[in-house]
Chains A and B, each alone.
Chain A
Amino acid sequence: MKALLICPMERPSVPRLAEAGPLATAPILGDCAVCHWIEHLAALGARQIEIIAPDGASQVREAVGDGARWGVRVSVTASSIEPTREEAVDQYQPEVKAGWLPAPHDVVVMSHLPGSSGPPLFESYASWFAAILAWMPLALTPARIRVEQVRPGIWVSSRARVSPTAKLIAPCWIGDQVSVVAGAVVGPDAILEDRSVADGTARITRSWVGPDTFVGPMTCVANSLAWGSTLIDWRTDSLLHVPDPFLLSSLARPTSAATTDRFGRALATRRPAEAKHGLITAMRVPLGSTADLKLHA
């Protein structure tokens, strides 16, 4: 069975989510949005999925590979526009629809998370957060063997490290290789994406913490999206580039001096007043580098 998946173009309402990659590859509960959709369509019986990528086709291709991971064949086609469902049906589907998934799964516009009737994903930062929060109970698919619901409304990866003195308040999601250190409080309505760290006595509530993000001791992340050193209040869209890495910072190893964190990279190039602070973050020595230097010495 075939299916067509239409990825979103960059949205002016959520520019920070698309600074390092297309919105389709934005991380959501341990995987990217387009990967969640492929898994969903594969579970519905699709064996051949064509992805229309109006933005960052090569990055989408890199994220999904050839589809073997889901037992499907995936092809990615670049497009200069984001077609509506009707336009895509006209342009890409033959008149005889034999061999396609039944509507509406035959042609899917990736505006929501799969199987969700919750808020649209990319309308605003608030709706992005609300959509992920609403989708948490649906995110546990048979393929996701590493995450389990340890208590009602509390999902924790088997490879996460949660201190016995940390407090998890439902609903919350603790992703793969996340560390929740002694005294930290996570939840309610909190998502810690893969490899993030909530250090001792940090408080994270009504917030999404992106992958590879360090939330420092005694800091309080509330009503926010925190990714790398950037903090966005999803109620007001106010954006703060946190200058001190011990408060909030990226743990990702930079692939170049400019890619220390996804949000911060564009800030350094777009806003001169903030560029110097972006540079400070870019020059910060990532964890593990000290050991590397010793080994090379």
Chain B
Amino acid sequence: MKIESNGECLCISEIQELTAVTSASFRDGVGYALNESTSVIEIDLSQTRFMDSSGLGALFALYRATAKRDAFVMRLLNPVPEIEQLLELTQMQQLFEIVRR
């Protein structure tokens, strides 16, 4: 997993899978990189091939942690169709901005 802070934007990419095994390190890594000036989080899911409820929980925890910030945006970039299906199944696509670039 790669985390880059670009001013106001925190970009997370190269996530192979987001599961019970990897979600804790995802949460810790993003939590460490997140600071007061961050107003956008972009999570690139183009390489994510597998996600389970722990992974969804990690995304939701991040959403909750940032939901109270003014004008905060959390984007999921280029999820593969299977991950998009999972987001729709759990209705989590309503929480995030899903963007294709």
CB proximity of A233 to chain B, nearest CB, Å: 6
A127 at interface (Cβ–Cβ under 8 A)?
Answer: no
Closest chain A residue to B92, Cβ basis: A220
Partner of B85, one of A240, A243, A246, A277: A240
CB proximity of A89 to chain B, nearest CB, Å: 43
Q: In the complex, A218→B92 CA distance in Å?
A: 11
CB proximity of A190 to chain B, nearest CB, Å: 15
CB proximity of B94 to chain A, nearest CB, Å: 9
* Interface contact A244-B52, CB-CB below 8 Å: yes
B86 at interface (Cβ–Cβ under 8 A)?
Answer: yes
Dominant SS among interface residues on chain B: helix
CB proximity of B87 to chain A, nearest CB, Å: 10
A222 at interface (Cβ–Cβ under 8 A)?
Answer: yes
B90 at interface (Cβ–Cβ under 8 A)?
Answer: yes
B50 at interface (Cβ–Cβ under 8 A)?
Answer: yes
- Interface of chain A residues 241 through 277 with chain B (CB within 8 A): 242-244, 246-248, 273, 277
A91 at interface (Cβ–Cβ under 8 A)?
Answer: no
B49 at interface (Cβ–Cβ under 8 A)?
Answer: yes
Instruction: Return the CB mask of A222-248 against B: 1 if under 8 Å, else 0.
Output: 101000000101001011101110111
* Interface contact A242-B81, CB-CB below 8 Å: no
- Interface of chain B residues 44 through 88 with chain A (CB within 8 A): 49-50, 52-53, 81-82, 84-86, 88
* Interface contact A219-B90, CB-CB below 8 Å: yes
- Name the A residues within 8 Å of B91 (CB-CB): 218-220
- Name the B residues within 8 Å of A221 (CB-CB): 89
Tell me the count of chain A residues lying within 8 A, CB to CB, of chain B. Answer: 20
* Interface contact B90-A238, CB-CB below 8 Å: no
Q: Which of A220, A224, A240, A273 has the most CB of B within 10 A?
A: A240
* Interface contact A240-B86, CB-CB below 8 Å: yes
* Interface contact B53-A238, CB-CB below 8 Å: no
Assess A242 versus B86: contact at CB under 8 Å? Given A236-B81, A273-B49: yes
Q: In the complex, A277→B55 CA distance in Å?
A: 15
Assess A233 versus B49: contact at CB under 8 Å? Given A218-B91, A247-B90: no
* Interface contact A238-B85, CB-CB below 8 Å: yes
Closest chain A residue to B94, Cβ basis: A220
* Interface contact B90-A277, CB-CB below 8 Å: no
- Name the B residues within 8 Å of A242 (CB-CB): 86, 89
- Name the A residues within 8 Å of B85 (CB-CB): 224, 231, 233, 238, 240
Q: Which of B50, B85, B88 has the most CB of A within 10 A?
A: B85
* Interface contact A220-B50, CB-CB below 8 Å: no
- Name the A residues within 8 Å of B90 (CB-CB): 218-220, 247
- Name the B residues within 8 Å of A240 (CB-CB): 82, 85-86, 89
Closest chain B residue to A233, Cβ basis: B85
Assess A248 versus B52: contact at CB under 8 Å? Given A236-B81, A238-B81, A240-B82: no
Q: Which residues of B contact A (CB under 8 A)?
A: 49-50, 52-53, 81-82, 84-86, 88-91
User: What are the 3 closest A-B residue pairs judged by CB atoms, nearest first?
Assistant: A238-B81, A243-B52, A240-B85
* New A-B contacts (14) at CB < 8 Å, excluding given A240-B85, A243-B52: A218-B91, A219-B89, A219-B90, A220-B88, A220-B89, A221-B89, A231-B85, A236-B81, A238-B84, A238-B85, A240-B82, A240-B86, A243-B50, A247-B53
Q: List 5 A-B contacts (CB under 8 A).
A: A220-B89, A233-B81, A238-B85, A240-B89, A273-B49
